[in-house]
Amino acid sequence: MARRPVESRPATLARRREILDAAVEVFGKRGYASGSLQEIADLVGMTHAGVLHHFGSKHQLLLEVLAHRDQTDVAQLEGQHIPDGMGLFRHLVRTAFRNAQRAGIVQGFTVLSAEATTEGHPGRQYFHERYETLRRELAQAFRVVCAEHGVEEPATVDAGAAAVLAVMDGLQVQWLLAPDAVDLGRTSAFAIEAVVRAVVGVDVDLLEDGTTGTP
């Protein structure tokens, strides 16, 4: 009996990325519960068993999709880690401009984060920990900016951290519903600048040239 050729590691990684991209599309359109592994398999020309060979379970595939999105967001950063201080706010604006070019990923994340608010959803712990981490990192960024401007740390740091995440997520929903009416990148910059101004009390410009998403 002829043996199946063994895929090389680069080929395996490429195949996994294909599956992840297909999963983003399917979960984004149908949600986690209604999106099927068979539909994902069909998009990449595989069998249901083939998808399971790479990821083990639908639950694991979901977690890999979410982790893949986060890795993509920091892949171009120096040292591949989130910056601090004003650099974090600029990173969020750059992310918003990138998101405007990848509607499928944004839709998938938006649908899954909403679903994850329900008890028993396999992504609930991921999103809980993700938002907790982001709030902590944003609060620290506010503290750094306050120190740089000689401002005593205000009591609104934690509220500001939550508000930045709220405006970014909310604008993504509006943009998905009406992409021609909402400029995701520029409006995100405007909103984040307003929150920073409210917390720190100083004017900031997160779009250095005032027109594009290249801070």
pLDDT at 208 (0 to 100): 61
Per-residue confidence at 31, pLDDT binned at 50, 70, 90?
confident
Give the chain's end-to-end CA distance (angstroms, integer). 59
Highest mean pLDDT among 29-33, 100-104, 188-192, 205-209: 188-192
> Looking at residue 10, what is its pLDDT?
84
What is the spatial distance between Cα 131 and Cα 134, in angstroms, rounded to a whole number?
5
Upper half-sphere CA count for residue 124 (Cβ side, 13 Å): 6
Mean pLDDT of 40-44: 96
Torsion of CA 114, 116, 120, 124, to 10 degrees: -160
| Higher pLDDT among residues 84 and 141, named by residue | 141
Task: Give pLDDT, residue 1.
Answer: 42
Query: What is the average pLDDT score of the chain?
Result: 87
Confidence of residue 82 (pLDDT cuts 50, 70, 90): confident
pLDDT at 44 over 50: yes
Does the pLDDT value for residue 29 go beyond 90?
A: no
- Report d(CA 44, CA 22) in Å as an integer: 7
Token pair of 47, please?
A: 């069998």
Sign of the Cα torsion 99, 100, 105, 110 reads positive
pLDDT > 90: what percent of the chain?
63
The pLDDT, as a whole number, for residue 3 is 43
Identify the pLDDT of residue 189: 98
Structure tokens at 121: 């959803």
The confidence band for 68, taking pLDDT boundaries of 50, 70 and 90, is: confident
Measured distance CA(65)–CA(19) in Å, rounded: 9
Has residue 49 got a pLDDT over 90?
A: yes
Greater model confidence, 132 or 80: 132
What does the alpha-carbon distance between residue 121 and residue 135 come to, in Å, rounded to a whole number?
Answer: 22
pLDDT computed for residue 141 by the predictor: 97
Give the pLDDT band (50/70/90) at residue 212. very low
Q: What pLDDT score was predicted for residue 210? A: 44
Supply the pLDDT for residue 80: 57
